[in-house]
Structure 1
Amino acid sequence: MAEQTREAAQAQELDRDTGRGLAHELVERLKERILGGDIEPGQKLPPESSLMTEFSVSRTVVREAISRLQAAGLVETFQGRGSFVLALPETTTTFSLEASQIRSHRDVLDMLDFRIGLEAEAAGLAAARRTEHQLKAIERALADFRRTSENPSRAVEADFAFHLKIASASGNRFYTELLGSLGPMVIMLPRTRLDASYSLGDATHFTRVALEHENIYDAIARSDPEGARAAVRVHLSNSRHRLKT
């Protein structure tokens, strides 16, 4: 009996070596259950505590996964009641882009150009529409990113979470859905092309990137759409310039 319990627990463990982040892996597991009919429309997702125990992940990972499921139109969350599965559309077309499709230096540059257009407008909308709750979520994501100065292995996921919270605050689920479908690979891949001097393990470089993030947050906090758009353009354009030639 104990052996069966251990096997069941192992079956639920997330793959921690994909480079896509635990939240992404948890989303994929829950999507399998939803799309496979194990959790039907109208049914409630398991509580956060149950998911934390089942998949051996933190509350932050669970909440991020549920946020991405919301962005994908698969669940709806009600304050104090939990998250419920929505009825699936008859036909579903999902934008997806795997890391393997970014094959060249040109592809990485083009992806950054794409992000500038996408995220600058999302930040502008976030500055105009964000709620205090959403602003607090962006602020927490920024603080979480700052803390990765002591643990650079978490920097990619924390960086992505910051950008995703801004997209969520835009009030337009398609920004969140599109950025969420890209996943942390949009942060990770450009970094594989950077000179060693631009590693986030380098204190000077980390401070510069953190300041760029702070400028974005500050513009959103003061409800300055043009300032937010400009701050995102500066941040991502700087990332583009830092790439190896």
Structure 2
Amino acid sequence: MEMIRRQKIYEIVANKIKEKIKNGELKPGDKLETVEQMAKSYGVGRSAIREALTTLRGMGLIEMKQGEGTFVKEYDYSHFIPSKDSLLLLDKKELRDLFEVRKILETSTAFIAAQNRNKDDLTLIKNALDKMTTAVDNEEQVERADVEFHLAIAEATHNSFLIELMHHISDALFSTMRESRRFWQSSEKLTLQRLYLEHESIYHAIVDQNSELAKEIMQSHLEKVKGGLHSMEKDEQ
């Protein structure tokens, strides 16, 4: 029988503070209560508070300033993913690896966006979709509208982590779209009309708040992108 580990008091306190940071109750720059005040607020000893703060500092969520107090930090994603400049230097194999991350990220993003979207979100997604048709004769503008469409879906999740990650990889996302579309055009596997219809289907699933369908269509769409990138690699070998 699997044993369930009991949380230590300082872990419970750390999780409560972390949740306040996550939901925006505590914002970057906010000063936390003193150790004594928090001990009273949470009904625990001061040693548990100190351990909790040490844990949160190790996560990069707070910083302790000598003589001033403890403050919430701006969350730094750069420890986990490459810089935008380095993303632009990725080779074909690395772009394919990035695409795998993109597929995991965007199928979930479409699913969550369908649940959480509001009228303003739908307007932004539709605007990006419309740009894809009006810019049909300008390849770069179509690509930018394509990226804008996917970023607008990320915004519709109202999940700060997903939004930040999607914006961070947007330049590399632009590169994968450009390369894969060039292959599609040369092989006539995907016309701009088909590309638009796929995006339109994703949009309508989000409008209908059909999470499963939005995820399914997004996955199907991205599988075609993967096929284009894979074929390009084979042609270059």
What TM-score do the two structures reach when normalised by structure 2?
0.59
Q: Which AA in structure 2 matches 1:221?
A: V
Match of 1:114?
A: 101
CA distance in 2 between partners of 1:160 and 1:217 (Å):
14
Q: Which AA in structure 1 matches 2:98?
A: M
| Displacement of 1:116 | 0.9
1:242 aligns with 2:215: no
CA distance in 2 between partners of 1:121 and 1:93 (Å):
19
Percent identity over the alignment is 27
Q: Which among 153, 156, 179 is matched to residue 192 of structure 1? A: 179
Q: Which AA in structure 2 matches 1:160?
A: V
Match of 1:219?
A: 205
| Displacement of 1:108 | 2.0
Tell which structure's C-alpha radius of gyration is larger: 2
CA distance in 2 between partners of 1:99 and 1:135 (Å):
29
**Where do 5+ consecutive residues of structure 2 fail to align?**
1-28, 30-70
**Where do 5+ consecutive residues of structure 1 fail to align?**
1-40, 42-86
Residues 142 and 219 from structure 1, CA distance in 2 versus in 1: closer, same or farther, beyond 3 angstroms? same
- What does 1:23-34 align with in structure 2 at a 5 Å threshold? none
| Displacement of 1:164 | 0.3
Q: Which among 129, 139, 145 is matched to residue 126 of structure 2? A: 139
What TM-score do the two structures reach when normalised by structure 1?
0.57
CA distance in 1 between partners of 2:74 and 2:169 (Å):
24
Does the CA contact (< 8 Å) of 2:143 and 2:178 recur in 1?
A: no
Runs of 4+ residues over 3 Å off in structure 1: 90-93, 193-197
CA distance in 2 between partners of 1:149 and 1:88 (Å):
46
Match of 2:11?
A: none
CA distance in 2 between partners of 1:154 and 1:183 (Å):
15
Does the CA contact (< 8 Å) of 2:107 and 2:215 recur in 1?
A: yes
Residues 212 and 137 from structure 1, CA distance in 2 versus in 1: closer, same or farther, beyond 3 angstroms? same
